[in-house]
Amino acid sequence: MIKWMKKKMKKVDIWDIALIKWSTAAFILFLITIWPGFSAWVNSVNAWYFFAAFVIFVVRPIYRMYLK
């Protein structure tokens, strides 16, 4: 990683990470609400695709936290 980025990451705690996650979720809900095209796309996609993406994204953190 870049040297200045390592310094910045040392200042981030668990609350910052949680707030980043919540703000991302809120922004996605905002987009779904105000952008009809995005809302139509979200509603037209099979829900299992979103679940599959969730599983793919969560595999590494779960592995690193609980199995390693």
Number of H helices, E strands in the chain: 4, 0
Q: Which residues are CB-contacts of 33 (< 8 A; sequence separation ≥ 6)?
A: 39
Please check the confidence at residue 56 and state whether its pLDDT lies above 90: yes
Average pLDDT over residues 25-35: 94
Examine the pLDDT at 60 and tell me if it is beyond 70.
Answer: yes
In sign, the C-alpha dihedral spanning 39, 41, 44, 47 is: negative
Average pLDDT value for residue range 42-53: 95
What is the DSSP code (8-state) at residue 45?
S
Residue 39: count other Cβ atoms within 10 Å of its Cβ.
Answer: 13
Parse the chain into domains and list their residue ranges. 3-67
| Residues 16-28 pLDDT 10s | 889 999 999 999 9
pLDDT on residue 1: 60
> What does pLDDT average to over the chain?
89
% helix, strand, coil for the chain, step of 5: 85, 0, 15
pLDDT score recorded for residue 13 = 84
